[in-house]
C-alpha cells in the first residue's frame, strides 16, 4: 500500500482512538506513523497549511537562527495541541469558550506565531473580541471531529519538526523548499548513518572463548585461604594427640603448657 493510500485510513483510526482513549500511547504511536509517512506537505496536511506555518516562523540569517526559531515553533505547536485536546475532551475546562489575549502562555507562545490564531479559528474560536477569541454564542459544543482532525495535524507537524531538529527525520526532502538551510545537513546525517556498517553483536560466545575466559580468570581470597590453612594445622595437631592417646596404657596423656617469648 502506498503512503497516499495509507494516510486516510491511518488518520481515521488515530482520530477514532483520540475520541475513545484520549491522548494515550496508541494515539501518540499513530501520529508518529503519520509523521513518518513519505508524503509532500500539501498531501499530508489537509486542515492546516503546514508549509506556510513553517516558512513564516523560521526565517533567519543562518542555520543556527533557523534552528532556534524552529524550537520556538515546536513550543507554540505544543500549546496549540493542548488547546485542541482540551476542546476535544468531554471533560473540557470550565472556560473553554474563550482564549484571552492577556493569557501569558497565549501571549508568549501562540500569538507570536504566524498562523497561530488561524489554528484557533479552525478549532472554533471564530469571534474576535477586544480581550480575546471566543466561540459564537449559538455554538453550544465544539465540533469534535473537526477539532480532532486539526489537533492531529498540529501534533504531526510538531513531531516532524522535532525529528528535523534532532536530525533523524526519515523523509527530510519534503521540507527542502521551506527549510533550505536545515534539510541538506539532515539528509547528510541520515546518509552517513545509513552508510555505517551494522554493528555485530555476538550474543552466544563460542566454547573456545568460554574456555579462554575460564583460564584467564582466577579469583582468590587470601583471608579465606589462611583460615583453611590454620584449620588444616589444627586438624593435624588433633590427629597427633589422638595417636599419642591410643598408645597410652590408661588412654590418657598429660600436656604441660610452657610460655614462649615471641621473637621479632
What pLDDT is attached to residue 263?
42
Residue-wise pLDDT tens digits, 216-261? 445 556 666 766 676 666 666 666 566 656 666 665 666 665 554 5
For residue 116, give the C-alpha cell. 497561530
Domain 3-90+144-194: which CATH class?
A: mainly alpha
* Nearest-angstrom CA–CA distance, 201 and 115: 49
Residue 133 above 90 pLDDT?
yes
What pLDDT is attached to residue 45?
97
Domain boundaries, the chain: 3-90+144-194, 222-251
What pLDDT is attached to residue 12?
94
Residue 4 above 60 pLDDT?
yes
Amino acid at each position: 500500500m502506498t503512503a497516499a493510500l495509507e494516510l486516510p485510513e491511518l488518520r481515521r483510526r488515530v482520530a477514532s482512538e483520540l475520541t475513545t482513549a484520549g491522548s494515550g500511547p496508541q494515539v501518540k504511536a499513530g501520529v508518529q506513523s503519520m509523521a513518518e509517512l513519505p508524503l509532500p506537505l500539501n498531501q499530508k496536511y489537509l486542515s492546516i497549511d503546514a508549509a506556510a506555518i513553517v516558512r513564516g516562523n523560521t526565517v533567519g540569517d543562518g542555520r543556527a537562527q533557523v534552528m532556534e526559531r524552529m524550537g520556538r515553533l515546536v513550543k507554540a505547536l505544543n500549546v496549540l495541541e493542548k488547546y485542541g485536546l482540551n476542546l476535544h475532551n468531554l471533560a473540557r475546562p470550565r472556560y473553554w469558550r474563550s482564549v484571552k489575549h492577556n493569557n501569558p502562555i497565549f501571549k508568549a507562545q501562540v500569538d507570536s506565531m504566524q498562523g497561530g490564531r488561524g489554528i484557533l479559528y479552525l478549532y472554533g474560536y471564530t469571534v474576535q473580541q477586544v480581550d480575546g477569541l471566543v466561540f459564537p454564542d449559538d455554538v453550544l459544543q465544539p465540533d469534535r471531529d473537526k477539532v480532532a482532525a486539526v489537533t492531529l495535524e498540529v501534533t504531526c507537524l510538531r513531531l516532524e519538526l522535532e525529528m528535523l531538529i534532532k536530525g533523524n527525520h526519515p523523509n527530510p526532502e519534503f521540507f527542502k523548499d521551506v527549510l533550505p538551510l536545515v534539510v541538506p545537513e539532515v539528509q547528510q546525517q541520515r546518509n552517513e548513518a545509513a552508510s555505517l556498517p551494522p554493528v555485530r553483536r555476538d550474543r552466544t560466545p563460542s566454547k573456545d572463548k568460554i574456555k579462554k575466559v575460564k583460564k584467564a580468570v582466577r579469583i582468590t581470597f587470601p583471608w579465606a585461604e589462611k583460615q583453611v590453612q590454620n584449620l588444616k594445622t589444627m586438624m593435624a595437631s588433633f590427629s597427633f594427640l589422638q595417636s599419642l592417646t591410643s598408645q597410652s596404657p590408661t588412654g590418657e596423656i598429660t600436656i604441660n603448657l610452657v610460655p614462649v617469648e615471641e621473637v621479632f
